[in-house]
Structure 1
Amino acid sequence: MVEIGKYISDAYHYAISDIKKGLVGALLSSIAGAFGAIFGTLLSLYIISYLNPEASPMSLISIVLIACVGFLIALIIGFILDGYYVRVMKTSVENSNTLPDWNNVKDLLVKGFLYWVGGLIVGIIFLIIPFLLIVSGMFLMFIPPLGLLVAGIGFICLIISMIAYIFYSGLAEVNYSVIGFSGFFEFKKIFKMMNIDYILLVIVVIILTILVILIVNVPFMIFKLIFVASSMSKLTILLDIISTVVSSFVGFFTAVFCKRAIALFYRDRVRMD
């Protein structure tokens, strides 16, 4: 437990070790969050407008185009941020104690894209069997006992697979940052690195992250519940966007904190082996 405390303390101080670099990431994250929130709002407006027979086709096209542009910008910034998180993990394993530079944006973009692709593939590997079981159970519902049994097994496997994925993905991401794309798929090596300390570390990191998210979002939720009546009012939309921007700003620091803590564990496990 002492080691876990050391990782948590180190990760906290690391995340705020360079305010200028941290602010760059937090602002980028806020911009991506703002565009993402606007995309979601416009998508909702598009659906509402589409269901309205009196809506102008030109207005619908404008909403879709603006939403797509916003989504694309958020996606590109997201890849750059992911690339930076990869750099955070790599430099942490290499014993750096300060946030890495934001130079070579092309490298950040490529590493971030591969980070996203690798995470997606790993997610599919872990979740494909539960998904197929659940879908098969739904198709077999005309045979109630068999359909319920297959779907039930699928949901149990889904829970187990999601838990396994959460623990696996943390170390797999660090492994990718160190050795490249194939690092996502060294299953034997990564599962071998896991122990009770790692499980407790991940749980503590998740709890702390959730607490920060709640602290940031609760004031906005309370304000909406007390003062806002309509779920699609202009004030509600504005509050949602502001809440997303603030959450994204803080989210950058929590992400760096999480990546750093797990990277430190990875570093020490590699040394032990």
Structure 2
Amino acid sequence: MGFGDDYIINPLKYALSNIKALLIFAILEFIPLAMFLIMLVAIVTPFSQSAFDMGQMSPESLIMLMFSLGVGFVIFLFIGIIIDLIVSIFLNGYIMKILSTTINGEQKLPEWENWKELFYKGFVFFIGTVILNLVFFFINMGFGIIDYMSVFFFSYSDIGIFALFVSIIVFFFKLVLSIIQAIYTPLALSNYAYTEEFKGFFEVKKIFKMMSLNWLAVLIVAVIVVLIIELPLYALIVFAIIFGIITESVTLAVVLGIVGILYASITLPLVSIYMYRCYGTYYKKTNEELEYCDLKE
């Protein structure tokens, strides 16, 4: 198959190959969003004129109300974070399953089964990505310290232009680092899904061998496809903001917000599955080529 079949048509068909699994993905992904909406309503409602007339409340009552809302917010936020984390772990475990089954050549979106294994692999996914992000964060912070030190020592001296030069160089390296992180992380996730070993996240030599202009093209095409799918959502958000400012219609803004949430709840799972299918497909092809080269040697 050609590039378009491998990274546009096939992944989209794959995402729709098991509607039941897609719906379960959508429902789980919607739970954190639903928690956020409930929290938002719970915070906003007490302040609405229909619920309270704060102008007639005594200072003591107002303080008590604010304290109660603050405590409630903290408790609800804590519960929401825990639920969000648990749901995310299961979703990550399923993403690992998508990657592993794709690498193994399966053409249908896998079922949601063996939840214990999904949780375990999702947890390892979480730990691995946290460590990767920390590594890139500390490297990025190192560049930031160099930039800060150059400004501190040279900006008020006769060679202040040197500080500007260093800042430009540091900015360039930070940009390159961000690009490396963007192209390294999906391959690291795919490598873990294939090897099922934690060290798969950090097999730097192997993963760097897999990087190519073709991989960069895959990422660019995947992002473009996602933007096209999500374009109606972005247009709806812009329209809701502009129209809401012009008409000052809260009701219309709420309706448009609900429509946007419903659209996002359908498309976000679709694009997530689509992108990881692209990652797995590229990893499968490249890994087979590397293994073939190793056998020849």
Partner of 1:10: 10
Q: How many residues are treated as equivalent by the alignment?
A: 265
Instruction: Measure how far apart 1:107 and its partner are.
Output: 1.8
Q: Which 5+ residue runs of structure 2 have no aligned equivalent?
A: 46-61, 291-297
1:1-273 matches, cutoff 5 A = 2-36=2-36, 54=63, 56-138=66-148, 141-143=151-153, 144=155, 145=160, 147-179=163-195, 180-228=197-245, 240=257, 243-244=260-261, 246-273=263-290
Over the matched positions of the two proteins, sequence identity in percent amounts to 26
Alpha-carbon separation, structure 1, partners of 2:246 and 2:42: 20
Alpha-carbon separation, structure 2, partners of 1:72 and 1:116: 14
RMSD: 2.9
8 Å contact kept, 1:83–1:112: yes
Alpha-carbon separation, structure 1, partners of 2:92 and 2:31: 14
Secondary structure at 2:263's aligned position in 1? helix
Change (3 A) 1:37 1:188: farther
Alpha-carbon separation, structure 1, partners of 2:208 and 2:278: 18
Worse-matched range after superposition: 84-93 or 141-150: 141-150
8 Å contact kept, 1:29–1:248: yes
Instruction: Measure how far apart 1:93 and its partner are.
Output: 0.7
Alpha-carbon separation, structure 1, partners of 2:128 and 2:169: 27
Change (3 A) 1:68 1:4: same
What CA deviation, in whole Å up to 9, does each residue of 1:146-178 have, x standing for no partner?
654444333222211111111111111111111
Instruction: Measure how far apart 1:39 and its partner are.
Output: 5.6
8 Å contact kept, 1:30–1:245: no
Change (3 A) 1:26 1:185: same
What CA deviation, in whole Å up to 9, does each residue of 1:191-243 have, x standing for no partner?
11122222111110011112222322321330232025799x68757755763
Change (3 A) 1:41 1:170: farther
Alpha-carbon separation, structure 2, partners of 1:108 and 1:204: 29
Greater C-alpha Rg? 2
Alpha-carbon separation, structure 1, partners of 2:68 and 2:252: 26
What CA deviation, in whole Å up to 9, does each residue of 1:5-30 have, x standing for no partner?
33321111100001111111111111
Q: Which 5+ residue runs of structure 1 have no aligned equivalent?
A: 46-52
8 Å contact kept, 1:28–1:77: yes
Instruction: Measure how far apart 1:132 and its partner are.
Output: 2.0
Secondary structure at 1:95's aligned position in 2? coil
AA partner of residue 170 (structure 2): G
Instruction: Measure how far apart 1:184 and its partner are.
Output: 0.8
Secondary structure at 2:151's aligned position in 1? coil
Alpha-carbon separation, structure 2, partners of 1:174 and 1:257: 14
8 Å contact kept, 1:84–1:112: yes
Change (3 A) 1:107 1:23: same
Worse-matched range after superposition: 65-74 or 199-208: 65-74
Change (3 A) 1:87 1:73: same
